[in-house]
Chains A and B, each alone.
Chain A
Amino acid sequence: MPGAKSLLRLVACGSVDDGKSTLIGRLLYDLGAIPDDQLEALARDSRSIGTRGGELDFALLVDGLMAEREQGVTIDVAYRYFATEKRTFVVADAPGHTQYTRNMATAASNADVALLLIDARKGVLTQTRRHAFIASLMGVKQAVLAITKMDLIGYDKTRYHRIVSDFVALAETLEIPRLAAIPVSGVGGDNIVARSASTPWYDGPTLIELLETAEPSEADRADRPLRMAVQSVARPNLDFRGFSGRLSAGRVKPGDAVRVLPSGRTANVARIVTADGDLPEAIAGQSVTLTLDHEIDCSRGDVIAAADAPCEIADQFQATVIWMSDTPLFPGRRYGLKIGAAQANATITEIRYGFDIDSFQHTPEKQLDANGIGVCNVSLDRDIPFDPFERNRETGGFILIDLDTGETAGTGLIHFALRRAHNVHWQALEVDREAHAAIKGQRPAILWFTGLSGAGKSTIANLVEKRLHSLGRHTVLLDGDNIRHGLNRDLGFTPADRVENIRRIAEVAKLMADAGLIVLVSFISPFRQERELARGLAKQGEFFEIHVDTPLEVAEQRDVKGLYKKARAGQLKNFTGIDSPYEPPARPEIHIDAVNTSPADAAEAIVKAIGAAISR
């Protein structure tokens, strides 16, 4: 039967340059899995960019990115597929370089077996330990330890055994119960597909034999209690309501009692609907649509579980977090969390401890840097259904998403739920500028409206504020006139007072921006230098100078407040435009032609222009 062979997923890992890609390339080559045209390309590439002086450089078969081939290192995982008589394989060739540890974690997350490489000349290195640690955290319970580059140490048996016993000690600490070791050479092809004459002292299986007999790690998934994360609710018509998802564990038959989590409501399965007709049973790994015998509330992110063995529900738990972003993890900061099909907002309330990779001792940590691994308390803004990671990868593993950049900043493996009381103690939570803005779901900005008296600044600023408010933004409007009645009522219109006036407004605007608000300042502010002062106080990229540009003739003709008339009559001194200059901005962020643009259109244009800057 086609496709009936079992599948083994393998991650090749170990320290940088230890020979992973070479070994994988060699394995594919020796199995005859490389087509002729790719072999020709390999010969060509080996001569032009290979690291082996023109001899075949097998790493080039898997290092497929230009940057990798130029530098001779692996940057990201290569997935390769091959088959033998006995089974099919997916091998993920991970990068060894510390900088790309997150890509190794990606490769390890789906692996059954870790093929851990060690350069025979170097032995166990820190990065070897880190990779072994991550593999074990990811639930990989089987490792094949390949001591490679044996050709470079003259196939020395003593040295081989010393490295193996070093690693056996490590494997015990890490709880990798099934371990096999093998001496190989990627360049020489020793013990990969064919037994090597250079290692007569090794009488174990070849690498491919080891891999053909390894047991897939989640072979018993179907025997565990049912879990299905609901991806979507199928409602093609009024008479049909089904819940679509992929079973991550267990099995299900029509008539089975199930519990929907987190609500806890129960129902019986009515049908297992697929395009191939209704199924009598579905098992772990299958994608199906279930209908229930009666209407209960169930939506995307919920988990359908066995009624008598449901998963746990909590909004706080302890988890091991592997950090992947260059921006460190700080307790108190908010992240997006995704587990199964469910999403929540998450905060790390406490880093209980980190690890020293060389000793696996616990270390106190205030933050986790890239590649940092720590056991943390995590708090969510809602209940989620989960299982401990060691019982189910799919319902126990989550990712943390940076809410600003959208990047996957880290990953976590749940251990157990915390009772609320355990967790009232928040570590070093700093309520800073960032936190203020984050809780409002926006980025602060200062919109500085400048222009002649009567240019339309306040009208437009008002409309902008209304529009932002309707979009759910938190704003404040500082109007020149109002401020002069309160905070600045001790100031007149002399040059010195004008400077002090603007300094105070700029300071207030800054404080309010620090509080996370979008601040609209509507103020003639005729002098360039003053406006530059205000800009200087603001954070880079948060200051928008908006020139509401109305020519003097027009403003004077409108003369809404009758001020121009008074100024012309000499009743007002130092009036901008009449006997005091207005210096138009040279390069405002936004320019509004207030003669040809209606205030509503101007406001719309401004809201659009700042849209990206104020969004998170």
Chain B
Amino acid sequence: MAESAIEITDLRKSFDDGKTFVLKGVDLTIPKGKLTVIIGYSGTGKSVLLKHILGLLHPTSGSLKVLGKELWDMKESELMEMRKRLGVLFQYAALFDDMTALENVCFPLREHRRQWDPDKIIDVATKKLESSGLGSEHFHKLPSELSGGMRKRVGLARALALDPEIILYDEPTTGLDPVLTEMVDDLIQSTHKRIPGSTSIIVTHDLFAAFRIGEHMVMLDKGKVLLSGTPEDFRNSDLELVQKFIAKGFKKE
């Protein structure tokens, strides 16, 4: 198999000192350079898994390698460096609500490109916003003045500000209308294609999108990986739960 971006072995997570486990031994390899979709019913631990990859949550046990390095063997400073190689679009974009769209994108640049002069930072931020498709008339608006779709675009531009190698999306289309859903899916796909060698990981329960844009798919159920493979593997799977999920997913559309 090709090189992997993320390697997870027997990852377990309990929030209550081992009484119950949210992740019950996840084994998962996410290939480098591909667009991977992680699907599963809500409440199965998809977001918790994502937060582990980001180093926001500490596993109870197990191993988690990001870009070849064991995440929790790192010192805090190395972890911070590693995080710069990841970009995240949060479900509700998580924009800083006291900063304009442009300032939001400038923020990570100001923090980590201290040697750049201010004009260059604004230049780069502007380019990032433009390629995420935000009209320049919205650059100086606060997040509260932007629509949901625009906020996603700003969030994406901010996630891409530091040119990350892995881009993660948590439920990018949940709660959006069908038109907007398609727009965001396209945006994710075109972003993935635009940045050569980038790895994209999308967490969603939108099966339609998973088949439309996914190159690799992972299904999570009750804290474990049920199936991991190509979309073709999923269609041909005879696992009952996978078929049920697929049937349900398509009936809804």
Decide whether A and B assemble into one complex.
no
